[in-house]
Amino acid sequence: MKYGVNEHGYYGDFGGAYIPEMLYPNVEELRQQYINIINDEGFKAEFDDLLKNYVGRPSPLYHAKRYSEKYGANIFFKREDLNHTGSHKINNAIGQILLAKRLGKKRIIAETGAGQHGVATATVCALMGIECVVYMGEIDMARQAPNVSRMKMLGATVRPASSGSKTLKDATNEALRDWIGNPVDTHYIIGSVVGPYPYPDMVARFQSVISEETKKQLLEHTGNELPQYVLACVGGGSNAMGMFYHFLDDEQVKLVAIEAAGKGVDSGESAATTFLGQEGVLHGSRTILMQTPDGQVVEPYSISAGLDYPGIGPQHAHLYKINRAQYVSVTDDEAMKAGLLCSQMEGIIPAIESSHALAQLEKMKFDINDNVVICLSGRGDKDLDTYIKYFGY
Amino acid sequence: MKLSDKIFAMNNEPLTMNSSNRLNKLFATKKDNLLSIYYTAGYPALNTTVDIAEALEKAGADFLEVGFPYSDPVADGPTIQHSSEQALENGMTLNQLFEELTELRKRVTIPILLMGYFNPIVQYGVERFCKKAAELGVDGVIVPDLPMYEYEAMYANYFIDNNLSNIFLVTPQTSEDRIRKIDELSNSFIYLLSSSSITGGSLQLTNSIEDYYKRIKAMELSNPTIIGFGISDHKTFEQACSYANGAIVGSKFVKLLAEDGYMEKIPGFIKGIKG
């Protein structure tokens, strides 16, 4: 693949494995084995079976007719919100739990922001009967309480991350510290296309089922497997990378990644990484991240807990730098309005993360024949409190 | 010149050299019971870095590791995390640290290493960082999240050209091949972690740790070895020194810096460790 990773884990200037020696054996074991495991026929069969019969894939590609009328193009929603556990996160969790089993790991750790990845990981651990510890920022535990309860119900231990900004990046730090102390028996299921190589590539491969299905479904709907536009929201960037993956080499397809502007890119309360970030190293990879001139990581803000990460995956940083994808941002207000609109025009309450992608439609000009695919990465059940408070219902 | 030749040349430089040879000179003249102390610059307050270094030298520390703080110290436990957060709140930056270090070589003669995470160095500029550190009399650098491949492929020349030692870590899980390679790329000492853990843990000398120390000793590496992580008193120091050339105390000393009158307590602290 033209835009894929090289043998040292780099996408152009980005990627690599900037990890302390304590993590080297774990990461190296993964690096040596992940391609063989993923390409093994037995693995593929088990992965596909679980995606079909447990997750409920393929997820529909829904032609949103009222949206199409409103925006003057053929708007399609890729319905990752209909997956078991309510988001795209389960695709990666299934892949990694099967991989962990083949590596002989007895214990799983994960980080979570909105809680969707935590729930997905707790779910697959229950399914496989493996011990599960999920790290979650204290602030996120409060604003995503239903997901904390879900994880507990599923048998996982949820450990609060109380350092730093008490959100996703700090949960990731805690998970990495746990892994350092448990180098032999534990696998770390990273939830996004971030982290040291091979994680960004591995997670992208597990999420690539999104675009693989989309191509087939679009062919059925429109007679052409290629749309004019593909839109997805980006925190770390896993649903976007899965949504872009099989379109990357089709250069005529315009890829649009939507970051969270929070209260506005210039407000000091934002998570618009490509607007506000510089190149640097975080959580094991060289990427673009929000930081001070002294190289201290800045605490991001978004109303959506799944998007307030100070970096983006290294492959996104590469696609941004070489202009293969366009990176834009949407504010809290624009996203919340879009979430309400989708609820009342299409009968779908989207996760606030996905509402960011929907809000971008307002800013684009389409030709009437354009086919536009938006990744509806998750459902809004977890966000009802936030929506209700925001709209004052 | 090939990288490995450059490093070989550095390892075999005559000992009459300039500042950059302080580490090698130390290891050539003193082979046992070397004590290194780690502390975080800017903690408990700004403008204490050189005062603390001077006090540690007087008290008998053989070399020092000065940490520069980072917002996301993934390899550190609560004590050093806290000191880093506090140092950042106090306003510590690399620029501030370099300003404080301008006085370093007027008052301190023992080798000094800087220790910290890679991102602040990337922002400062890796080459500029190496130049500046060397200029101020820094002898080496420990960057836990700058691994061997990235170091060798992209950055080694900046360190070598400035006569700065880059120190690699080895854990009980590091393979023999990798340790050999680390030995080749090292030019002062190798930092042996007592276990795979974050900083600030407690250390019980188990059979498996002893086996690991013995395994490393039997490898007869060309660089000296210093043991760190979990060294907190005379007993753990002595144990470490029976397998390596010395040991590093970090979190335990950082805890002392939180106490009132810590400057006066430094001699007693060092004496307590050395026995």
Q: Is A263 a catalytic residue?
A: no
Helices (H), A322-383: 332-346, 352-359
Boundary-marking domain end, from A154, A187, A203: A203
Contacts of A299 (CB under 8 A, 6+ apart): A164, A165, A167, A169, A310
Mark whether A290 and A323 lie in a shared domain. yes
> Contact A25/B173, CB-based, under 8 Å?
yes
Query: In the structure, what pLDDT confidence band is assigned to residue B6 with cuts at 50, 70 and 90?
Result: confident
A146 vs A390: which has the higher pLDDT: A390
Is residue A188 in some structural domain? yes
Mark whether A165 and A251 lie in a shared domain. no
CB B220 within 8 A of CB B10: no
User: How close, in Å, is residue A293 to chain B by CA atoms?
Assistant: 7
Mark whether A338 and A383 lie in a shared domain. yes
Q: B87: exposed, middle or buried (C-beta count within 10 Å: 0-12, 13-18, 19+)?
A: buried
Measured between its terminal Cα atoms, the distance across chain B in Å is 46
Give me the residue label for tokens 């970051």: A259
> Contact B74/A163, CB-based, under 8 Å?
no
> Contact B171/A295, CB-based, under 8 Å?
no
Choose, from A59, A87, A89, A238, the residue flagged as catalytic.
A89
Mark whether A167 and A189 lie in a shared domain. yes
DSSP states of A22-82 as a string? GGHHHHHHHHHHHHHHHH-HHHHHHHHHHIIIII-PSPPEEE-HHHHHHHTSEEEEEEGGG
Boundary-marking domain end, from A152, A176, A203: A203
Is residue A2 in some structural domain? no
Query: In the structure, what pLDDT confidence band is assigned to residue B19 with cuts at 50, 70 and 90?
Result: very low
Each residue of A132-151: pLDDT tens digit?
A: 999 999 988 988 888 999 99
Mark whether A361 and A235 lie in a shared domain. yes
Is residue A11 in some structural domain? no
Select from B72, B117, B145 the Cβ nearest to the Cβ of A164: B72
State the total domains in chain A. 2
Is residue A10 in some structural domain? no
Q: What six digits make up the tokens of A33? A: 């084995």
Is residue A244 in some structural domain? yes
Is residue A44 in some structural domain? yes
Query: In the structure, what pLDDT confidence band is assigned to residue B13 with cuts at 50, 70 and 90?
Result: low
Select from A278, A293, A297 the Cβ nearest to the Cβ of B71: A297
Chain A interface includes B262 (CB < 8 A):
no
**What pairs with residue A281 in β-bridges?**
A286
Is residue A168 in some structural domain? yes
CATH, residue A348? 3.40.50.1100
Choose, from A80, A111, A259, A346, the residue flagged as catalytic.
A111
CA dihedral B59, B64, B70, B73 (to 10 degrees): -100
The CA distance from B249 to A19, in Å, is 22
What whole-number percentage of chain B has pLDDT above 90? 85
**Residues 124-183, chain B, touching A (beta carbon < 8 A):** 124, 144-147, 149-150, 153, 168-171, 173-175, 178
Which of A188, A291, A294, A297 is the best mutation test for B, with the most CBs of B within 10 A?
Answer: A294
Mark whether A154 and A265 lie in a shared domain. no
Residue B16 has pLDDT above 50, yes or no: no
Q: Which domain holds residue A261?
A: 57-87+208-391
Measured between its terminal Cα atoms, the distance across chain A in Å is 49
Name every chain A residue with its beta carbon within 8 A of the beta carbon of B75: 20, 22, 177, 180
Mark whether A79 and A111 lie in a shared domain. no
Q: Is A211 a catalytic residue?
A: no
> Contact B71/A164, CB-based, under 8 Å?
yes
Select from A20, A184, A291 the Cβ nearest to the Cβ of B119: A291
Boundary-marking domain end, from A170, A203, A236: A203
Residue A183 has pLDDT above 90, yes or no: no
Choose, from A208, A238, A302, A377, the residue flagged as catalytic.
A377
Chain A interface includes B115 (CB < 8 A):
no
User: How close, in Å, is residue A357 to chain B by CA atoms?
Assistant: 30
* Per-residue pLDDT at B199: 87
Mark whether A249 and A357 lie in a shared domain. yes
Mark whether A175 and A276 lie in a shared domain. no
* Per-residue pLDDT at A111: 97
E strand spans, B87-242: 112-115, 140-142, 165-167, 169-170, 190-193, 225-228
Mark whether A81 and A151 lie in a shared domain. no
Catalytic residues of B: 65, 76
Each residue of A243-270: pLDDT tens digit?
A: 999 999 999 999 999 999 999 999 999 9
Is residue A197 in some structural domain? yes
Which of A7, A14, A18 is the best mutation test for B, with the most CBs of B within 10 A?
Answer: A18
Mark whether A74 and A165 lie in a shared domain. no
Each residue of B167-205: pLDDT tens digit?
A: 999 999 999 999 999 999 999 999 999 888 888 887 777
Query: In the structure, what pLDDT confidence band is assigned to residue A13 with cuts at 50, 70 and 90?
Result: very high
Mark whether A38 and A82 lie in a shared domain. no
Domains (range + CATH), chain B = 35-167+237-274 (3.20.20.70)
